[in-house]
Amino acid sequence: MLSRFGRYIILMLKVFRKPDKMQVFWKQFFVEINNLGVESLGIVAVISVFMGAVVAIQTAYNIDSPLIPLKMVGFTVRQSVILEFSPTIISLILAGKVGSRIASEIGTMRVTEQIDALEIMGINPANYLIFPKVTAAMVFNPVIIIISMGFGLVGGWLVSVFTSLYTSYEYIDGIRSWFEGYTIIYALIKTVVFAYLITSISGFMGFIVKGGAIEVGAASTKAVVWSSIMIILFNLILTQLLLS
């Protein structure tokens, strides 16, 4: 475990170096923005809408007291979505989708000697393969999370349109009440850290693969498991650091 962590640190030292050719790096960077970011927008939008709707319905059903105004539904949905659901749950979803993709892509390159080929050419394979993925995710995941927040809030609003649990006016009034801009900053800081964890851990798992197809599959699973565990752990640490 400790030796693996040491290997991860050594790999990261190779990843965070000046790219061999900036022109090639920028090309890879935008390819990864598309592969890891834009291609994830569909699933993020769907999950966010349903997530916001479910939180809204559950909150509305739990407000029994006539002393609590129904605009609290909008307030609760906003706080839940911004503070936790969008940054953490969507990052966990991305750990599954993006993490397995990165680990299997790099792992396959390892077992088919493509990484050796890069090394023979004098190219730093860790930097060439992992650095654009890490930077693209750290730049674009905040955009995904902001979009997710928007769709989450829309999900809660749709409940007001299709049910009589609360009115659209009450919901929107709730969303606008007691808003603190810092919650968005907190969510985005978490997102950037989670993006780094997902891409670096998955890249590492793929990079150290030895063997064949079975080992690539195992690396992909390990990437998702370890990324998820680290997201949960760092969620606790960052929440304590940023909100206490």
Tell me whether residue 35 or residue 79 sits nearer to other proteins (CB atom): 35
Binding map of other proteins across residues 97-136, x = CB under 8 A, - = no contact:
-----------xx--xxx-xx-xxxxx-------------
The distance of closest approach from Cβ of residue 21 to other proteins in the complex, given in angstroms and rounded to an integer, is 6
The distance of closest approach from Cβ of residue 207 to other proteins in the complex, given in angstroms and rounded to an integer, is 14
The distance of closest approach from Cβ of residue 223 to other proteins in the complex, given in angstroms and rounded to an integer, is 19
**Whole-angstrom Cα distance, residue 169 to residue 124?**
57
- Interface with other proteins (CB under 8 A), residue total 15
Query: Is 12 among the residues that bind other proteins (CB under 8 A)?
Result: no
Query: Is 38 among the residues that bind other proteins (CB under 8 A)?
Result: no
The distance of closest approach from Cβ of residue 116 to other proteins in the complex, given in angstroms and rounded to an integer, is 6
Q: Quick one: which of 11, 12, 16, 20 contacts other proteins (CB under 8 A)?
A: 20
**Whole-angstrom Cα distance, residue 178 to residue 166?**
19
CA separation, residue 167 to residues 68, 149, 173, 244 (Å):
15, 20, 10, 34
Query: Is 3 among the residues that bind other proteins (CB under 8 A)?
Result: no
Which amino acid, residue 163? T
Rg (CA), the chain: 21
Query: Is 239 among the residues that bind other proteins (CB under 8 A)?
Result: no
Query: Is 42 among the residues that bind other proteins (CB under 8 A)?
Result: no
First to last CA, the chain: 31
Which amino acid, residue 242? L
The distance of closest approach from Cβ of residue 48 to other proteins in the complex, given in angstroms and rounded to an integer, is 30
Q: Is 179 helix (H, G, I), strand (E, B) or coil?
A: coil
The distance of closest approach from Cβ of residue 138 to other proteins in the complex, given in angstroms and rounded to an integer, is 22
Query: Is 21 among the residues that bind other proteins (CB under 8 A)?
Result: yes
Which amino acid, residue 181? G
Chain-centroid distance, C-alpha 60: 28
Helix axis angle for 213-243 and 182-207, nearest 10°, is: 160
What letter does residue 164 receive in the DSSP assignment? S
Tell me whether residue 27 or residue 176 sits nearer to other proteins (CB atom): 27
**Whole-angstrom Cα distance, residue 100 to residue 193?**
18
Tell me whether residue 114 or residue 239 sits nearer to other proteins (CB atom): 114
Q: Where does this chain bind other proteins (CB under 8 A)? A: 20-21, 24, 108-109, 112-114, 116-117, 119-123
